[in-house]
């Protein structure tokens, strides 16, 4: 693994980890401001560095990265420029969770490519175990996002110290 790839992977894992903390905050109606900054910055960095790998054509990963960057732009605008006022709170939750979902989607893809036990179950990623894993992630994120919309929308969304 090259240094570039290793840095990209570390940034991705930081983004997913911080995103899960942000998700926990959304589910409890609380803001974790430092974790949110880390999640958004790492996820932007993950997507940007993803475009730095040498390829000769547009790949599905480029499309996912582009979609994620669009969602992140909306999330950042909703969170910081609009301060999550009125409908921007909903826009923030939806786009932040879409960005996290896309990061986890790619994490599952990479797990099935790199983890030998998973690769043995779905070597071409067109087999049932891969589809089932991605379906479970999708359904899980849809359900969690609906709950987060309700909890974060109705809560005061108080800022919480990031030592939590």
Mean pLDDT of successive 10-residue stretches along the chain, which has 164 residues = 95 98 94 96 97 93 96 98 95 98 97 96 96 98 96 64 53
Q: What sign does the CA torsion over 145, 150, 153, 156 have?
A: negative
What separation in angstroms does the CA of 94 have from each of 103, 108, 132? 14, 21, 23
Structure tokens at 97: 């969770």
74-105 confidence digits (pLDDT tens): 999 999 999 999 999 999 999 999 999 999 99
Gap between the Cα atoms of 115 and 88, Å rounded: 39
> Does residue 5 sit in helix, strand or coil?
helix
Instruction: Count CB neighbours of 159 within 10 A.
Output: 13
Q: Where are the domains of the chain?
A: 3-158
pLDDT at residue 96, as a whole number:
98
Q: What is the dihedral of CA 69, 50, 144, 121, to 10 degrees?
A: 150
Gap between the Cα atoms of 114 and 59, Å rounded: 18
Residue 109: closest CA among 134, 90, 87: 134
70 neighbors 102 (Cβ within 8 angstroms): no
Gap between the Cα atoms of 160 and 81, Å rounded: 20
Structure tokens at 49: 């560095």
125 φ/ψ sector (left φ>0, alpha ψ -120 to 50, else beta): left
90 neighbors 153 (Cβ within 8 angstroms): yes
Gap between the Cα atoms of 148 and 94, Å rounded: 9
């Amino acid at each position: 693994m090259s240094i570039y790839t290793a840095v990209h992977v570390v940034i991705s894992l930081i983004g997913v980890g911080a995103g899960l903390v942000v998700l926990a905050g959304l589910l409890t109606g609380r803001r974790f401001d430092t974790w949110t900054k880390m999640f958004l910055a790492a996820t932007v960095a993950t997507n940007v560095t993803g475009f730095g790998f040498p390829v000769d054509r547009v790949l599905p990963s480029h499309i996912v990265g582009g979609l994620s960057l669009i969602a992140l732009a909306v999330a950042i605008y909703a969170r910081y420029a609009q301060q999550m006022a009125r409908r921007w709170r909903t826009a923030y939750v939806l786009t932040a969770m879409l960005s996290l979902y896309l990061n986890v989607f790619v994490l599952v893809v990479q797990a099935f490519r790199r983890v030998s036990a998973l690769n043995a179950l779905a070597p071409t990623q067109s087999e049932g175990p891969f589809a089932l894993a991605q379906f479970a992630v999708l359904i899980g994120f849809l359900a969690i996002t609906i709950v987060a919309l309700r909890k974060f929308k109705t809560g005061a969304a108080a800022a919480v110290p990031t030592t939590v």
